[in-house]
């Protein structure tokens, strides 16, 4: 066997193990009986240890060196070799004792966070969160030493390969200057509208599930390679060619669950469209979280909050929910789905105010990882940032700096990918509509094939063949450009009202 074929076979086995972990994790989050928790934890821990051992196998370095000298490799094989080297470098950068210490600190911090959040008591979280931060900083420094990056950029690289905070700073500073004025302008426009009547429930879960599955089919989801279930927090998971999504239902409000299904379907379409010929290899996986998030937000925000989609969907929703009256008209539903409001909670935020929540978290976590701000000052800095970016001040820590689990769970460097994904979604949708002027009219007919076909041929089939900036440039003709996102927001919320 050649060195490359050894690598190919080895990482195929790594992927098979990851697929098993994915299904076990999905089961854990959806339907596993409580009594199985201890056994499942032990099984998952062992599988993670086995995977880490395979990812740090000392033979990988020798195979990589030999394969790099192979002049017979094709473009996809060279890209796979690049991705194998990237993931191997990251996996081997951190000493096992640091990984273990971080895992234990995160477990303790997550448990403390649940109670601290309920009690709105940041001081109670401070000791365990300090330990998590110190260990994440050490992990970032260890990875950064191998990758030639700052500690923060090394942590960011786990979620956004090749991403750099200098580029994000420029994009986010531009948005931060733009958003407060736009928010005020949109709120003035909204204030002049007559109030719409409420959608009267209850909306039975069975009817909501049927509607969600109908819309999944409209978007192009393949039920032969996935399923829809219920979980506390909606997610997309599973395994290669077994892409499962979840949602949660509220019998008083079907609109939230439906958009949750559409959001996760966007993720799933990406996973179902990955390159089959290279499935199981690092080159086949989705290209980072900003691209992944762009696929869900493209469906949820760009396509399915458009007037065209809601003209198609309004009668479908009315029939499914047994609704009638003005509240069920397409224009009323559009106003409902594009309502803007300043608020404290990120996950409840609308398309206009959401980026401000992310920019705040990004700026704070970058300062904390760089040790440029004491962690004890986080509540004050958070509230000041909320006041500057959103014009509101949280009355307590539960509605402020304790609302997200990302930092207690070790997710430092993840937050910016949410807004990078929203910006990418706008740029991709704009490019798709320009490449095929029938994309929006077809959505108005309930036909997503033109859009999905464009995404398949420009994003999905490439997996990680291209690096992120190259992939976006290949698809849209330019790197990420904040002006496209800004123009989308102004058009939807000011010009087309």
Q: Which residues are catalytic?
A: 264
Backbone dihedral region of 163: left (phi > 0), alpha (psi from -120 to 50 degrees) or beta? beta
Matching residue, tokens 């691209």: 291
Exposure of 122 in the CB half-sphere (CA atoms within 13 A): 19
Beta-strand (E) ranges in 37-83?
A: none
Question: How many CB atoms are closer than 10 A to CB 446?
Answer: 16
In contact, 207 and 321? CB cutoff 8 Å? yes
Total number of residues shown for the chain: 497
In contact, 248 and 228? CB cutoff 8 Å? no
| Interacting residues of 369 by C-beta distance below 8 A, sequence separation 6+ | 133, 136, 137, 140, 151, 152, 155, 412, 413
Strand partners, 242: 239
Beta-strand (E) ranges in 155-255?
A: 228-230, 236-239, 242-247
**Cα 278 from chain centroid (whole Å):** 23
d(CA 77, CA 7): 11
Matching residue, tokens 């994309």: 439
Which structure tokens are listed for 244? 């499962």
State how far the alpha carbon of 454 is from the alpha carbons of 185, 432, 436, 437, 460, in Å.
34, 6, 8, 12, 9
DSSP 3-state helix, strand, coil percentages of the chain (rounded to 5)? Answer: 70, 5, 30
State how far the alpha carbon of 406 is from the alpha carbons of 84, 106, 250, 279, 413, in Å.
27, 10, 25, 29, 9
d(CA 98, CA 127): 18
Nearest alpha carbon to residue 235 among 281, 268, 202, 189: 268
State how far the alpha carbon of 362 is from the alpha carbons of 104, 368, 420, in Å.
25, 10, 11
Omega before 202 within 30 of 0, i.e. cis: yes
């Amino acid at each position: 066997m050649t060195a490359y074929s050894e690598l190919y076979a080895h990482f195929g086995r790594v992927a098979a193990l990851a697929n098993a972990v994915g299904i076990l994790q999905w089961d854990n989050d959806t339907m596993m009986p409580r009594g199985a928790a201890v056994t499942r934890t032990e099984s998952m821990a062992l599988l993670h240890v086995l995977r880490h051992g395979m990812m740090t196998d000392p033979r990988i370095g020798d195979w990589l060196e030999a394969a790099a000298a192979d002049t017979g490799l094709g473009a996809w094989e060279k890209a796979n070799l690049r991705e194998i080297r990237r993931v191997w470098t990251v996996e081997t950068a951190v000493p096992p004792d640091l990984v273990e210490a971080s895992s234990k600190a995160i477990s303790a911090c997550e448990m403390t966070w649940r109670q601290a959040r309920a009690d709105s008591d940041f001081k109670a979280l401070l000791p365990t969160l300090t330990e998590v931060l110190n260990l994440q900083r050490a992990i970032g420094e260890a990875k950064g030493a191998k990758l030639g990056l700052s500690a923060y950029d090394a942590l960011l690289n786990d979620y956004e390969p090749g991403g750099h905070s200098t580029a994000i700073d420029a994009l986010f500073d531009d948005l931060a200057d733009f958003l407060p004025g736009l928010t005020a302008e949109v709120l003035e426009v909204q204030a002049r509208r007559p109030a719409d009547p409420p959608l009267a429930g209850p909306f039975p879960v069975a009817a909501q599930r049927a509607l969600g599955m109908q819309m999944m089919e409209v978007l192009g989801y393949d039920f032969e390679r996935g399923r829809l279930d219920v979980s506390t927090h909606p997610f997309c998971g599973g395994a290669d060619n077994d892409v499962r999504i979840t949602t949660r239902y509220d019998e008083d409000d079907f609109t939230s669950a439906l958009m949750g299904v559409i959001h996760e379907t966007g993720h799933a379409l990406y996973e179902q469209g990955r390159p089959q010929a290279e499935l199981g290899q690092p080159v086949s996986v989705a290209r980072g979280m900003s691209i992944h998030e762009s696929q869900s937000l493209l469906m949820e925000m760009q396509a399915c909050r458009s007037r065209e989609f809601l003209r198609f969907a309004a009668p479908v929703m009315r029939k499914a929910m047994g609704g009638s009256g003005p509240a069920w008209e397409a224009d009323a539903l559009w106003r409902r789905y594009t309502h803007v409001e300043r608020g404290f909670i990120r996950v409840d935020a609308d398309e206009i105010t959401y980026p401000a929540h992310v920019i705040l978290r990004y700026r704070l976590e970058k300062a904390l990882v760089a040790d440029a701000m004491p962690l004890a000052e986080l509540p004050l800095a958070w509230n000041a940032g909320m006041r500057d970016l959103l014009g509101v001040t949280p009355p307590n820590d539960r509605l402020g700096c304790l609302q997200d689990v990302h930092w207690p769970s070790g997710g430092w460097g993840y937050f910016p990918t949410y807004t990078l994904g929203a910006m990418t979604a706008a740029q991709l949708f704009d490019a798709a509509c320009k490449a095929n002027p029938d994309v929006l009219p077809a959505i108005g007919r309930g036909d997503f094939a033109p859009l999905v076909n464009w995404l398949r041929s420009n994003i999905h089939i490439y997996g990680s063949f291209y690096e992120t900036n190259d992939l976006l440039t290949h698809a849209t003709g330019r790197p990420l450009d904040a002006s496209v996102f800004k123009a989308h927001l102004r058009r939807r919320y000011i010009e087309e009202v």
